[in-house]
């Protein structure tokens, strides 16, 4: 992917994943921020076990916060909750693209979890639902303009609930710090506009003064998007697994293009960071 972040992994047998020493995968995800596993034709139990190697997978009750669908899978003496997600259509459709954002940024306990996605059906991978990742860690700070760098410690970001706009209003510094690695990164997300009224960010302050809009957020994202070395675009093959650190990236998705009878299906798992 890039010299210092992201890596693609493929096994002769996907169960070889479980042969690595305890802690190997957790160390690797913190080094690389983004892992893509190819040809992981697991069953759901294997995928649930996979998640245990990275941190603390969300339980059923945790998903009530995000309003994602839930499916419990028993793994030995514990239960891992998967979140199935499907796009299916009885006629040709084209959905809107998803703008750059991070997952679960406003949760009061353990925000910005790892998110893992395992795709089990993807009928049109080269033209539909390509996912872009943008590195927003401190490695990216040098790519900001001098004026933007000067603002880093003067900006506050006001966030709201994505699920119930206008609630859970919280104010944060523009720079956040990873709870495990200590790596600093930008608190960027798509923001409240006429198109995305449920977006996370609903206000920006500079030196305590509320700005007329949130366009500063877009200016930061647009600046970083000028540099290819900060980006990776993933075309989803069936049985790919991605796992990424939401502290380190924002991500987007191109439009979904589905023909009659198509189904695009994922299982997702949110995994909290543990030291």
Give residue-wise pLDDT tens across range 198-228: 899 999 999 999 999 999 999 999 999 999 9
Q: How far apart are CA 219 and CA 224, in angstroms?
A: 9
Structure letter (DSSP) for residue 144: S
pLDDT digits (tens, 9 = 90+) for 28-61: 999 999 999 999 999 999 999 999 999 999 999 9
Question: Does residue 2 carry a pLDDT above 90?
Answer: no
Within a domain: 128: yes
The answer to the question of residue 2 being in a domain is no
Backbone angles phi, psi at 18, to 5 degrees: -80, 0
Number of domains forming the structure of the chain: 2
Instruction: Please state, for a pLDDT cut of 90, what percent of the chain lies above it.
Output: 83
* Other CB atoms within 10 Å distance of the CB of residue 19: 9
- Is residue 78 in some structural domain? yes
Q: Does residue 20 sit in the same domain as residue 130? A: yes
Considering the entire predicted model, what is its pTM?
0.96
Check residue 231 and give its pLDDT. 97
- What is the pLDDT at residue 88? 80
Confidence of residue 126 (pLDDT cuts 50, 70, 90): very high
Q: Do 23 and 117 fall within a single domain?
A: yes
- Please tell me whether residues 32 and 117 are part of one structural domain: yes
CATH of the domain at 251: 3.60.130.10
Q: Does some domain include residue 163?
A: yes
> For the CA atoms of the chain, what is the radius of gyration?
19
Asked if the structure places residue 63 within a domain, the reply is yes
121 in any annotated domain: yes
Q: Is the pLDDT of residue 1 over 80?
A: no
Q: Are residues 127 and 156 in the same domain?
A: no
Decide: 246 and 102 in contact? Cβ < 8 Å.
yes
**What is the DSSP pairing of strand 131-135 with strand 231-234?**
antiparallel
> Span 112-125, mean pLDDT?
96
For residue 192, what pLDDT band results from cuts at 50, 70 and 90? confident
The CA-based angle 45-51-56, given to 5 degrees, is: 125
Give the mean model confidence (pLDDT) for residues 148-160.
97
Both tokens of 216, joined, read: 């500063």
Query: Which range marks the domain in which residue 259 is found?
Result: 7-136+228-272
Residue 1 lies inside a defined structural domain of this protein: no
Q: Please, which pLDDT band fits residue 157 given cuts at 50, 70 and 90?
A: very high
* Cα 165 from Cα 202, distance rounded (Å): 9
Residues 102 and 19 in one domain: yes
Distance CA 199, CA 14 (A): 37
**What are the pLDDT digits (tens) for 63-103?**
998 889 999 999 989 999 999 999 887 777 788 899 999 99
Inter-residue contact 31 to 178 (CB < 8 Å)? no
pLDDT(111) > 90: yes
> For residues 8 and 168, what is the distance between their CA atoms, to the nearest angstrom?
37
Residue 265 three-state SS: strand
Give yes or no: residues 148 and 262 share one domain.
no
126 and 254, same domain (yes or no): yes
C-alpha to C-alpha distance for 211 and 80, rounded to whole angstroms: 43
- At 213 the pLDDT is 94
Q: What mean pLDDT value characterizes the chain?
A: 94
Domain identity same for 27 and 115: yes
The stretch 232-259 carries a mean pLDDT of: 96
The tokens for 207 are 């030196």
Q: Which of 74, 61, 100, 79 is nearest to 224 (CA)?
A: 100
Q: Is the dihedral of CA 194, 103, 241, 32 positive or negative?
A: positive
233 and 182 within one domain: no
The alpha carbon dihedral of 119, 124, 128, 130 has a sign of positive
The predicted model gives 176-193 an average pLDDT of 95
CA gap 6, 169 in Å, rounded: 33
Residues 187, 130 share a domain:
no
- Same domain membership, residue 255 and residue 214: no
132-155 mean pLDDT: 98
The answer to whether residue 46 sits within a structural domain is yes
Instruction: Verify that 178 and 91 share a domain, yes or no.
Output: no
> Do 160 and 168 meet the contact criterion of CB atoms below 8 Å apart?
yes
- What length is written for the chain? 275
Of 62, 41, 33, 28, nearest in space to 241 by CA: 41
Final residue of a structural domain among 188, 208, 224: 224
């Amino acid at each position: 992917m890039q010299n210092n972040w992201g890596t693609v992994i493929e096994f002769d047998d996907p169960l070889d994943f479980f042969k690595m020493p305890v802690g190997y995968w957790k160390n690797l995800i913190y080094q690389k921020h983004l892992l893509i596993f190819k040809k992981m034709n697991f069953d759901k139990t294997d995928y649930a076990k996979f998640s245990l190697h990275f941190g603390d997978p969300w339980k059923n009750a945790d998903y009530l916060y995000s309003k994602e669908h839930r499916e419990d899978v028993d793994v030995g003496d514990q239960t891992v909750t998967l979140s199935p997600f499907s796009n299916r259509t009885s006629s040709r459709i084209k959905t809107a693209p998803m703008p750059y954002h991070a997952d679960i940024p406003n949760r009061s306990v353990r925000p910005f979890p790892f998110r893992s996605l395992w795709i089990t059906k993807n009928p049109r991978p080269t033209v539909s639902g390509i996912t872009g990742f943008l590195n927003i860690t401190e490695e990216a700070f040098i790519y900001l303009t001098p004026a933007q760098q000067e603002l880093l410690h003067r900006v506050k970001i006001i966030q709201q609930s994505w699920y119930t706009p206008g609630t859970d209003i919280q104010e944060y510094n523009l720079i956040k710090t990873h709870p495990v690695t200590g790596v600093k990164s930008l608190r960027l997300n798509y923001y409240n506009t006429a198109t995305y009224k449920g977006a996370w960010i609903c206000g920006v302050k500079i030196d305590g003064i509320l700005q007329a809009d949130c366009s500063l957020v877009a200016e930061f994202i647009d600046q970083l998007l000028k540099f290819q070395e900060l980006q990776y675009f993933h075309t989803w093959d069936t049985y790919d697994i991605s796992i990424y650190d939401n502290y380190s990236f924002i991500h987007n998705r191109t439009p979904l293009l589905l023909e009659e009878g198509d189904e695009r299906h994922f299982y997702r798992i949110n995994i909290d960071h543990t030291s």
